[in-house]
Amino acid sequence: SFRFERGTDPNMTVYALKRAALLIKEIAGGTISSDVVDVYPNKIENRLISVKDKNITRLIGKNIPREDVFTILENLEIAIVRKEAETFTVSVPPYRVDVLQEADVVEEILRIYGFNNIELTEIAGTAYLAEFPEKDSNKFKRALGSQLVGNGFYEILTNSLTNVAYQQKHNLTFTGTPVEMLNKLSEEQGILRQTMLFTGLEVCAYNINRKQKDLKLFEFGKIYWKNESGEDVTKRYTEEERLALYMSGNTETENWQAKSKAVTYYDLAQQVVQLLDKVNLENLKQEKLDDPLFEYGMKLMKGNKEIGKLGKVKTSLTKDFGIKQEIFYADLNTALLFRSANPKFVVQEVPKFPEVRRDLSLVLDKQVTFDEIRTLVLNTEKKLVKEIIAFDVYEGDKIPAGKKAYALGFTLLDESKTLTDDEIEKVMTRLMGAFEGKMGAVIRK
């Protein structure tokens, strides 16, 4: 019980025994037959604890007069046995089993003095509260999860243990080496996973085999690996938080207004972009993905660190799970995403002047990505170009081999005045010159 959790005073034994004997004599008519025999060779004495005045002020956040401190302690039956210039020593009775060190004495002082009597200092005032509450990783994940659920995703939870055969069959290697279980329940659960993909594919296969083919799933989990070169055993093992997204089948159920549409890579990319917009992630770069798990895809970089990757899972992998339809998969580093997120947002006035839309069609090498196009546009005209979109991409008849045609839409805006036709033409001329000079583009007119 809580009463005995807090401990009892061993020096109360004789007193309690005498009190019990008197009650037996008074109430039950008993007689006291002998004196007390007390075998107590090593008596527990009061604890002596040294307390520094500066530590009281540091821990409480306020300078409490010594006289008030002494009064509080003496009323708690904690005697002051020695006083010095900056320290004093107290004698704590054995029944106070919760007062063992200096911090406990300070806590007793604060408890009686009252939290309500501690004013906010400049450190713990508005400057501190301006950043309160601090970023909470669990709240961060709940916000991402709510966003995905609102977009029709279902959360799954899979086992961190997986089958090493999944990666051995395709000769896959990941960061570090697998963490193998010493006491395996089975070979199918022999190692800690190094990727979220395999356990997620098991869930996809389970649902598809039961006629649930339109899938939008996500999972928060961890991956693990062992660093063989780690000298310190505490640094030999690493775990990393991840967010995995899976999409397959059709995006919407077929209805009288529209036919069903198969999920594509761009549907998954749209979900990832919405998540990144949600956390206000800035200065993100997109790079072409070269990963043995994917047939094609893209990786997202923040500086020299990889935030995540997304793409179409290799058919050879999905076949191992008996899956005959395409699986699109995104893997995000949740911890890095959390640290890189910018919780602040900027509010600005709605533009008073009209936007202008101009379209441009050009033929480029097939290897050129839209991200490279956007980077070139912003480097050429960052002030007036507010948005760039690709509303059509075409390969085929009338387009040379190894080329593809982009149809681009540019939104131009000057927040200080209305753009003139001459200014608009100058911007578009600069952009066309940049496309022709730096990308070898052919402008289609």
Same domain membership, residue 309 and residue 191: yes
Same domain membership, residue 195 and residue 72: no
Per-residue pLDDT at 123 exceeds 60:
no
* Domain presence at residue 400: yes
Cα(253)–Cα(62) distance, integer angstroms: 65
Mean pLDDT of 269-282: 90
- Domain that includes residue 401, residue range: 356-444
Instruction: Give the pLDDT band of residue 53 (cuts 50, 70, 90).
Output: very high
Same domain membership, residue 372 and residue 334: no
Choice among 17-26, 169-178, 322-331 with the minimum mean pLDDT: 169-178
Phi first, then psi: give them for residue 354, nearest 5 degrees. -75, 150
Same domain membership, residue 265 and residue 207: yes
Same domain membership, residue 283 and residue 220: yes
* Domain presence at residue 351: no
Choose between 187 and 161: higher pLDDT: 161
Which tokens belong to 398?
A: 């009338």
Same domain membership, residue 183 and residue 163: yes
Cα(410)–Cα(383) distance, integer angstroms: 13
Would you give the distance in Å from CA 283 to the centre of its chain? Answer: 19
If you average pLDDT over every residue of the chain, what do you get? 88
Per-residue pLDDT at 66 exceeds 90:
yes
What is the strand order of the sheet 161-162 is part of? Answer: 161-162, 191-192, 179-180
Instruction: Give the pLDDT band of residue 231 (cuts 50, 70, 90).
Output: low
Mean pLDDT of 154-180: 91
Q: CA-CA distances (angstroms) from residue 397 to 88, 369, 394, 404, 439? A: 93, 21, 9, 10, 22
Same domain membership, residue 212 and residue 82: no
For residue 186, the model assigns a pLDDT of 86
For residue 371, the model assigns a pLDDT of 84
Mean pLDDT of 98-106: 92
Per-residue pLDDT at 145 exceeds 90:
yes
Per-residue pLDDT at 128 exceeds 70:
no
Same domain membership, residue 296 and residue 434: no
Which percentage of the chain shows pLDDT scores above 70? 93
Mean pLDDT of 159-181: 89
Q: Which of 308, 340, 372 is the last residue of a domain?
A: 340
Q: Tokens 């578009």 identify what position? A: 428
H/E/C letters for each residue in 82-130? Answer: EECCCEEEEEECCCCCCCCCHHHHHHHHHHHHCHHHCCCCCCCCHHHHC
Mean pLDDT of 310-332: 95
* Domain presence at residue 350: no
Same domain membership, residue 314 and residue 215: yes
Q: Which DSSP state fits 131?
A: T
Same domain membership, residue 143 and residue 121: no
pLDDT digits (tens, 9 = 90+) for 410-436: 999 998 999 999 999 999 999 999 999
pLDDT digits (tens, 9 = 90+) for 353-362: 999 999 999 9
Cα(162)–Cα(173) distance, integer angstroms: 15
Number of domains in the chain: 4
Q: Which of 132, 167, 201 is the last residue of a domain?
A: 132
pLDDT digits (tens, 9 = 90+) for 357-381: 999 999 999 888 888 898 899 899 8
Same domain membership, residue 199 and residue 162: yes
* Domain presence at residue 268: yes
Relative to beta strand 356-365, strand 442-444 is: antiparallel
Using DSSP, state whether 316 is helix, strand or coil.
helix
Please report, for the domain that includes residue 110, its CATH number: 3.30.56.10
Please report, for the domain that includes residue 161, its CATH number: 3.30.930.10
Q: Which of 132, 156, 186 is the last residue of a domain?
A: 132
* Domain presence at residue 348: no
For residue 370, the model assigns a pLDDT of 86
Mean pLDDT of 261-286: 90
Choice among 112-116, 117-121, 240-244 with the minimum mean pLDDT: 117-121
Choose between 393 and 313: higher pLDDT: 313
Instruction: Give the pLDDT band of residue 199 (cuts 50, 70, 90).
Output: very high
Q: Where are the alpha helices (DSSP H) in 381-420?
A: none
Per-residue pLDDT at 125 exceeds 80:
no
For residue 430, the model assigns a pLDDT of 93
For residue 344, the model assigns a pLDDT of 73
Mean pLDDT of 288-301: 92
* Domain presence at residue 347: no
For residue 133, the model assigns a pLDDT of 52
Which percentage of the chain shows pLDDT scores above 90? 57
* Domain presence at residue 22: yes
Residue ranges of E strands in 315-384? 327-333, 356-365
Same domain membership, residue 151 and residue 87: no
For residue 74, the model assigns a pLDDT of 94
Question: Which residues 6+ apart lie within 8 Å of 19 measured at CB?
Answer: none
Mean pLDDT of 398-417: 90
Mean pLDDT of 157-162: 94
Please report, for the domain that includes residue 401, its CATH number: 3.30.70.380
Cα(87)–Cα(55) distance, integer angstroms: 10
* Domain presence at residue 345: no
Q: Is residue 306 within a helix (H) or strand (E), and if so which, with residue range?
A: strand 305-313
Instruction: Give the pLDDT band of residue 56 (cuts 50, 70, 90).
Output: very high
For residue 368, the model assigns a pLDDT of 87
